[in-house]
Chains A and B, each alone.
Chain A
Amino acid sequence: MPNPSTRTDRATGQPRAHESATKHVSGQATYVDDIVEPRGCLYAAVGYSSIARGHIRTLDLSGVLASEGVVDLLELADVPGHTDIGPVFPGDPLLTSDEIRYVGQPIFAVAATTELQARRSVKHAVIEYEAKAPLLDVTHALKELAFVRPSHRMQRGDARSEIEDAPLKLEAEQHLGGQEHFYLEGQATLAVPGEDGGMLVYCSTQHPSEVQKLVAEVLNVPANRITVDMRRMGGGFGGKETQAAPWACLAALLASKSGRAVKLRLPRCDDMPMTGKRHPFYNRYRIGFDLLGRLLGAEITVTGNCGHSPDLSDAIVDRAMFHADNAYFIPAVSIDGHRCMTNTVSHTAFRGFGGPQGMMIIERAMDDIARTVGRDPLDVRKLNLYGGPGRDLTPYHQQVEHNLLPELIEQLEISSDYRQRREEIRQWNRSNPVLRRGLALTPVKFGISFTVQHLNQAGALLHIYTDGSIQLNHGGTEMGQGLHTKVVQIVAETLSVAPEQIQVTATRTDKVPNTSPTAASSGTDLNGQAARNAAIELKQRISQCIAEQKGEEIDTVRFYKGRVYWSDSDSISFAEAAQLAYMNRVSLSATGYYRTPKIWYDREHARGRPFFYFANGAAVSEVVIDTLTGEYRVLAVDILHDVGRSLNPGVDIGQIEGGFIQGMGWLTTEDLKWNAEGQLISNSPANYKIPAISDTPPRFKVALFKRDNAEATIYNSKAVGEPPFMLAISVWSALRDAISSLSDYRISPDLDTPATPERVLRAVMRTREARSQKGGEP
């Protein structure tokens, strides 16, 4: 047997293809809507409110019931159990018979023989409302103190007096748009009734345990009667963390009432108006800084537009606050977070979970400072990074350890030719009559761990069968991020077997109970460790057995490349080892469990260590804008990102690229619009534009920063799901840079997001006006 210290059999670190890739490309990967329905299955559709605020005066569903193919109907009064399905705090009624709080609020659900019949029948509902003027503007809500949850403050030092005493001061505000998840697979559930009031629920959800709990509660049965099964989602991005549950509950209730299987799949035209989105934010800063551009103090306010109910907004606005410093040390700081109520769908988790909205305000400040002191924004950013004596404490008093951003930025600055390009662009901008180019480098420092403590735990269940094949189950859900691929690699490495020997099964609440949502980028950190712990346990049992059988010390037993050795020359195959263990009555099934160490947080005093570690990265983006129309292209993007020791570089680069493009969409073309009545008018992909293939920059270079995580994470890797999303702030900053060039970089233009061509053109016009008022040169 080779020396274990030079082992070449590491399964992690390889760019293995996604475990379902072959199934994806051949149409064999099964999503909830693809499951062949049980006989007699009914199809459900949901009737929802067309007004944003008021009451139902009369509700006449006789036409619905009489409609062709309709078999059953569900109203609020038919719900045997809980009727509020708020995930953390109450406020999310499953159905309403009275008060209306947003357009798209479910009023009834119907089950019919075909999906089209169900959808057509909904149109026969006659609903009269007593409508009130909706509250839609977040600044009005802030003035009226219309909050879904109490406000919260973090502070360190006396920001006010530091700003007062600073040589230079600025204040500014920004509005940031929300974002539709646009998972390609819409919300979908298939509920199959079983014995004892139980239900098997196939649901496209990031949080099977919560769906299980809520279905049990609405049906008024114990949780042990409900099983949720989730093989894969066609995209989640946070949009299936809490937003999958209402449809699962409605399908289960209809299934229970009718005694038949019920499928409820939201067509896109219902999914977009009925499900929550990324929170729009309204942010402000007041800062003081020195003549070099070094921050001395900052007062920051972040205000989330939460929609009608709390949902996850407490934690989302907290995370915005935790990231309002991004990568920068602020000597004296206060950060206020507000959670405003408006009459729209309840905004919810979306990749970054408030972090991107928080970072945007400090990144705006960096550019604004640079224009004020006349320096390159990159120099101002570098000057303000965490690092150096006494400059390592966040506004929530966590020490920034293992800070690698200064070095990472230095590398990227060189590899991207930032300085030469900056000079070339300055020259070029003087010569073109219409177009302007812009360049920006922005960093990301993103805290990894759920800020809600108890969620930082995970479980796994591992079986070894007597033929040596392995079945792996854990609490995480696969939404395309490659979680199962990585966890298979982790188990393969732990047992030193081929990844092909391991079959991952659907995530099921009857295999691993009480799981956390697959969210907060934590899927692999938590579930990978839990699965590894299960594998270590089984390895230990098999080793013990072989040691006993072969009369050797347990320490001599080694697993290597699919074989088990008890001396340099004696070995049996892994399958034979499994068979031997079975014959000797050793259990080949184990659970694994993991909880994140070191973290604690005292929210009352806004102080602690909410994050186990930080994931870092930086991006350089170059854009060109058209000063006649505001149209633009992203020309080049260079990214250097920190994933610790990569478990799978293929998967990790995919997360970085995909996250970046999704972030770019949020900040550029993805324009959510509600009309004055509170109806979502960007309600289809015809008028809500996520990035398409030509938006991918012609030059798109992504590299991994090579350094193991200093914390003891799973094989010293780092989480990668969310952090790259915020690298796209560089695109927004580059757009502002291009606009600022019209003032010879003296004016720092307002540019709310999404920075649509229309907003860019407006900023161009205002910059030109301001320049001519200042009497500057062109």
Chain B
Amino acid sequence: MIRFLFNEQEFTLDECSPELTILEYLRTVLVRRGTKEGCASGDCGACTVVVAEPDGERLRYSTLNSCITFVGTLHGKLLLTVEHLQSSGQLHPVQQAMVDLHGSQCGFCTPGFIMSMFALYKSIDSPSRSDIERALAGNLCRCTGYRPIIDAALSLAGRGGQDGFSSHEALIGARLRKIREDHPSGSLQLGDHRFFVPASSDELAAQLQAYPGAQMVAGGTDLALSVTQQLEQPKVLIYTGAVAELNAISETEGSLLVGGAVSYTRLEPFLQKHYPEFGHLLDRLGSLQIRNQGTLAGNVANASPIGDTPPVLLALGAKLHLRSGNRCQVIGIDDFFTGYRQTALPENGFIEQIEIPLQPEQLLKVFKVSKRLDDDISAVCAAFSLRLEQGIVTEARLGFGGMAATPARALNAEKALIGQPFTERGIEAAQQALGQDFSPIDDVRATAEYRLLVARNLLLRAVLEQDQRYASQPLEVVQYA
């Protein structure tokens, strides 16, 4: 069974379809219809709800897309929806601000915006405009043009997140901890379909052995689309989010070790510290709702050619700590992607940790090119890790997404860079060599021609950004965002 709090009420679920999403559960089982379905694919945010978990004496509130989150992931958490925000008949401050500043027109996206604004209100006291954009980039509004919504969020500055929830946070935290102590792991079943919430790495390894073919939910923001879009009914789902070991992040001499269940949101401050370019990429990876759920390991294991983090991990030469049953192994990321959505992950295996080498002397450049700044999939994603000695390239690793059937390095271009000055002239051979490295395809996002041209131009951008003559000038339009 799984246990969670729905506002102040404790719910226990046992027999339940494992692929039931939180949105379906709210709208069809509980008939709570304040939460809306806009797309059922995690792209519009109309279904945004908030989950809270204990964080010291307080609660940490995070948004998620209920349309692509399985109800089993709620084990040991507090679920809040738009219906819960009013307290003693009064609108919540974020609700009142949206009314006062004309923040809703048709109103259909509004519950989702309210929940994202509520989580922001509880997390950052006086958010800047870019904080607001980050918090709301996963909520689409087709009516307002967003200006009044931004103004509503700005108007809430300086209230310290005070609201009707503030007084019972300690109590709620204690109740959640009690649930987790009583039931560290959880499960759901319906017929021979199962959803597992293991609490330890050993438990996870054993379940994967016992249910070959089980699918892992490491965020599940892509996996869930097979349920909501292709209407598949997976037999066994195993959620990694409650596995203690997989939630660890550690910094050692020379490397950052990221557990397989660490969300992008938890990872981001570590990346900002060591690799700000990588950290900024995360701001444009999906939306906050996605980053609160999605994991680095999930992005790697998913092996999509358009995943945003694999190119960077390729450039940085990350290592993957894999486990299957009791067997553990470490492999370099270069050997992991074996074909379109194929990997070297052993049967019934999982990613325990991702080891990111910390090489402060390396120059890292990361670029993402897409139609839209927020929450879009890259036409091209590029990450360059270079060592320059007196202006000459001595080491080069170039990782690309959107250029081939897998995330891939540009080996010919790397070779062409070595020994050359890192100048417009010096990169010309490498730019040409990209044509041997990649034969990209035409698709809905871009043509092959554009992808190759942009890949070449991004090398040039890296050169210009190193050029002292332009040090004080903006060279990317995202610097205006």
Contact = CB atoms under 8 A, between A and B. Distances in A.
Interface of A: 15, 17-18, 20-31, 33-34, 36, 114-116, 119-120, 123, 181-186, 232-237, 267-269, 431-435, 479-482, 624-626, 628-633, 635, 650-651, 653-654, 657-662, 669, 671, 673, 681-682, 684-687, 689-696, 698, 700, 756-758, 761-762
A746 to B, nearest CB: 24
A250 B145 CA distance: 34
Given A17-B99, A482-B105, A758-B446, A435 B477 contact: yes
B100 A692 contact: no
A459 B458 CA distance: 60
Contact of A692 (B103, B373, B458): B373
Contacts of B82: 25-27
A682 B453 CA distance: 23
A435 B476 CA distance: 7
Given A185-B108, A685-B44, A694-B133, A116 B231 contact: yes
B379 A479 contact: no
Contact of B107 (A186, A232, A631, A761): A232
Interface in B136-162: 136-137, 139-150
A34 B34 CA distance: 8
Interface in B413-471: 443-447, 450, 453-454, 457-458, 460-461, 464, 470
B293 interface: no
Interface of B: 28, 31, 33-41, 43-44, 46, 81-83, 85-86, 91, 94-96, 98-100, 102-111, 114, 129, 132-133, 136-137, 139-150, 229, 231, 369-377, 379, 443-447, 450, 453-454, 457-458, 460-461, 464, 470, 473-478, 480-481
B41 A268 contact: yes
Contacts of A34: 33
A693 B142 CA distance: 10
A700 B43 contact: no
A758 B379 contact: yes
A18 B372 contact: no
A700 B105 contact: no
Given A629-B454, A633-B477, A669-B371, A657 B144 contact: yes
A635 B231 CA distance: 42
A643 to B, nearest CB: 15
Contacts of A690: 140, 142
Nearest to A24: B107
B377 A654 contact: no
Given A269-B229, A628-B461, A658 B39 contact: no
A757 B107 contact: no
A116 B43 CA distance: 20
A354 B241 CA distance: 50
A390 to B, nearest CB: 39
B381 to A, nearest CB: 12
Contacts of A25: 82, 91, 94-96, 98-99, 103-104, 110-111, 114
Nearest to A758: B450
Contacts of B100: 17
In this complex, the member of B108, B111, B149 whose beta carbon has the largest number of chain A beta carbons within 10 angstroms is B108
Given A27-B35, A693-B141, 20 more contacts: A17-B99, A18-B104, A25-B82, A25-B94, A30-B33, A120-B231, A183-B106, A184-B46, A184-B106, A232-B107, A234-B36, A269-B229, A480-B107, A685-B41, A685-B44, A685-B140, A689-B371, A690-B142, A694-B137, A695-B374
Contact of B40 (A114, A268, A696): A268
A216 B357 CA distance: 70
Nearest to A765: B453
B143 A658 contact: yes
A2 B111 CA distance: 44
Kindly list the 4 A-B residue pairs having the minimum CB-CB distance in the complex, ordered from nearest: A27-B34, A480-B106, A234-B108, A24-B107
Contact of B475 (A116, A433, A481): A433
A514 B377 CA distance: 46
B477 A480 contact: no
Given A120-B231, A669-B371, A684-B39, A692 B137 contact: yes
Nearest to A683: B444
Contacts of A756: 371
A15 B372 contact: no
